[in-house]
Amino acid sequence: MYQTETCFEPFVDAIVSQLDIGVLIAEMKGRVLYHNAAMPRLLGLGSDHPIANLKELNRLKLQKLLYRALFEAGEPDAISRKSKSWVHFEHKLVEGEDVRYLQFKTGVLEMPQKKGWVRLLMVQDISADKRLEAVLGGPQPGGLVTNDPAMLEIVERIAQLAPTEASVLLQGESGTGKSLLARLIHAQSRRAGQPLVEVNCAAIPETLIESELFGHVKGSFTGAVDDRPGRFETADGGTLFLDEIGELPLNLQAKLLKVLQEGRFEKVGSDVTQTVDVRVIAASNKNLRDAVDEGSFRADLYYRLAVFPIYVPPLRERPADIDRLSQHFLERMVDRGYSSRIQLSNEARKVLMDYPWPGNIRELANAIEHGMICAQDEVITPDSLPPEVREYRQCAAQPVAKTVVAASDEEQRREIEDALKRAQGSRAMAARILGIDRSTLWRRMQRLGVQ
């Protein structure tokens, strides 16, 4: 807990009313003294349904759940005992098609000036974590976390396709989690006990890629002093992850296609055909479809790889993940020796939300670590964040365009394109840069034919 001289109390109301967590305070007999807007919404009562008494929640069987949770916590008689110990329990709320998992936390607190006791109840929607857990078979240590609906769909899709032998093509900007997803596919496949071999096609000089992938025989080129197996051979029985596949030279694309179709290849400098059993997962941060149109990527290879194309969205299009992953990295850094008490200030969270994250999750992880190093009194403020992150908002917040009034269509189009470029394609951000709202931007883009 962090508190300066300024008293927190006057703002509690405002803060609690904005939380996504439901908060409710009731007298011990059940009469409700306060709840915020999130509470009825989370309980499926509609957002403007006031709760006057805990009895109204009977259909949730709260009482029973509470008893069971206390019993499991070894405190069966604690329900009436006034203590500060909190009880946690989960509840699956089913309403027609809609299934949500709620986490409850409740405790009994004494009112100021000993005016009696109240029950405090807090509720949080943990459906996203539950869905992930169900798909991944339990929380993954150091693994993937997400709160983003599109990412959850990807994870579910992966669970379906992982056990098949199909090739998978992962596309998305650098740092969005493609490598992590590739490992997840392998881990959930029938090949999980076999090797997962990763090759970054962009990191190997063009002249060496063929030998790297397929191996070579002694004397096949200068420097080939020995026979060497390639990555395909090493991955035999397992999975080969070809990262940055868009960088693979055209002549090797043909050779790759042949292995994918026939499971056969020759080492560099050899005419002996070898067979392998390898599943290929490929990733690219450029749009391969465009590369096909431009002639730098073979169409037949593209279709062979893209049996299951998956597009991983950039972090700026996953607002819920900015928060979720920030927390994740805060917790993870504790293993690296940072204090577990370090918290993000609300201001810093806002700055993180507003930044377009060109480096995606990799950049966010670095920013959080930077924040932890520069935290003041265990709080990460905007000042603790890397300069490019904290300064972004200042420059984005100053509308560049006071224009609009007399600007010609051509000028407006240029301005919008420019703003979109600065905002890395995020319309919300571009609108802010232009000092107009999102729907105005959208209408203007339609009218001017801006893509």
Q: Which is nearer to Mg ion, 179 or 234 (CB)?
A: 179
Q: Which does 24 bind (CB under 5 to 8 A by kind): ligand ADP, Mg ion, none?
A: none
φ/ψ of residue 202, rounded to 5:
-80, -15
Q: Which does 393 bind (CB under 5 to 8 A by kind): Mg ion, ligand ADP, none?
A: none
With b for 16 or more beta-carbon neighbours within 10 A and e for fewer, the 184-214 pattern comes to bbbbbbebeebebbbbebeebeeeebbbbbb
Q: Which does 238 bind (CB under 5 to 8 A by kind): Mg ion, ligand ADP, none?
A: none
Q: Which is nearer to Mg ion, 103 or 179 (CB)?
A: 179
Give the CA count within 13 Å in the CB-facing half-sphere of 258: 12
Least CB distance to Mg ion at residue 356 (A): 20
Q: Give the contacts of 59 (CB within 8 A, at least 6 positions apart).
A: none
Least CB distance to ligand ADP at residue 144 (A): 4
Q: Which does 246 bind (CB under 5 to 8 A by kind): ligand ADP, Mg ion, none?
A: none
Q: Which is nearer to ligand ADP, 177 or 230 (CB)?
A: 177
Name the residue number minimizing CB distance to ligand ADP.
Answer: 177
Q: Which does 314 bind (CB under 5 to 8 A by kind): ligand ADP, Mg ion, none?
A: none
User: By the criterion CB under 6 A, which residues form the site for ligand ADP?
Assistant: 144-146, 172, 174-180, 325, 328, 361-362, 365
Please identify which residue in the block is written with the tokens 């609300």: 346
Pairing mode, if any, of strands 215-216 and 228-229? antiparallel
Q: How many C-beta atoms surround the C-beta of residue 111 within 10 A? A: 12
Q: Which is nearer to ligand ADP, 349 or 362 (CB)?
A: 362
Q: Which is nearer to ligand ADP, 116 or 319 (CB)?
A: 319
Least CB distance to ligand ADP at residue 451 (A): 25
Least CB distance to ligand ADP at residue 328 (A): 6
Q: Which does 145 bind (CB under 5 to 8 A by kind): ligand ADP, Mg ion, none?
A: ligand ADP
Distance CA 231, CA 213 (A): 5
Question: Looking only at Cα atoms, what is the longest distance across the chain?
Answer: 90
- 283 three-state secondary structure: strand
Q: How many C-beta atoms surround the C-beta of residue 330 within 10 A? A: 19
Least CB distance to ligand ADP at residue 242 (A): 12
Q: Which is nearer to ligand ADP, 185 or 361 (CB)?
A: 361
Q: Which does 316 bind (CB under 5 to 8 A by kind): ligand ADP, Mg ion, none?
A: none
User: By the criterion CB under 5 A, which residues form the site for Mg ion?
Assistant: 179
Identify the CA nearest to 368 among candidates 331, 393, 318, 321.
Answer: 331
DSSP state of 21: S
* Tokens matching residue 234: 């090493």
Name the residue number minimizing CB distance to Mg ion.
Answer: 179
Q: Which does 390 bind (CB under 5 to 8 A by kind): Mg ion, ligand ADP, none?
A: none
Least CB distance to ligand ADP at residue 288 (A): 14
Q: Which is nearer to Mg ion, 240 or 436 (CB)?
A: 240
* Tokens matching residue 241: 């992850």
- 331 three-state secondary structure: helix
Q: Which is nearer to ligand ADP, 63 or 174 (CB)?
A: 174
Burial class from Cβ neighbours inside 10 Å (0-12, 13-18, 19+) for residue 105 reads: middle
Least CB distance to ligand ADP at residue 170 (A): 8
In this structure, is the dihedral angle defined by the CA atoms of residues 338, 176, 318 and 424, taken in order, positive or negative?
Answer: positive
Q: Give, for 350, the enclosing helix (H) or strand (E).
A: helix 346-354
